[in-house]
Structure 1
């Protein structure tokens, strides 16, 4: 009978020489990279800009503005706020922008729906900037000329 002495170094070098152990290592590394990529994709990656969510609607009392030729405009506003808007929101910036934009215009100009829509879009842009993105829409609740 021959007795063999177990040399741990000899066994380790035999395992390292086997081609299957390198394949297992590569498979483990690839699997870890795939898991890390999945975690990054679903958890850490920036999803891009988030669309604002509609919150409360702030109704502003109607005001009267002077127009050309001694006419006037009675206009009421409602602001569609985002969910990030602080409560209560002050409507003074909206009134100021409305007065600046619509005062002194002619009745004929304001009587054309296409022109009103253009002015409303301009007002929305001004208010989005003035309220730092917390206003996402403007509605005319009253629009009467005389």
Structure 2
């Protein structure tokens, strides 16, 4: 599975979250609803962010579960959530504003491959801007297919 096989049902535009936990739960819910993970994976996504922030710089975050949560992954999946107003993954003193979330669940080594693919694509902040400014799900899918 690669970022290139992204069904439009796994893309959400114009979302708004008060907290990073709310944003992570939203991503987890998408993965549960798509049959990628069991319900318990959502709590593991929150736990993973508490252990080590899933903020990756360049306005993106990649919420995913802990290593122990691999048992809850049924199939690899990814969702992309656009947050135009941004959500803070840092602190009030040191904000880390995220405008694009990539929620992922990976079977076996897919997990690392997905993170690497996303991180590489988003290392160019211009790519992130294109995703953050996209007006349709198709725009986002098209952008990610060019990777």
TM over 0.5: no
More strand by percentage: 1
Larger radius of gyration: 1
Q: Give TM-score, length-normalised by structure 1.
A: 0.29
Structure of greater relative contact order (alpha carbons < 8 Å, 6+ residues apart): 2
Q: Give TM-score, length-normalised by structure 2.
A: 0.29
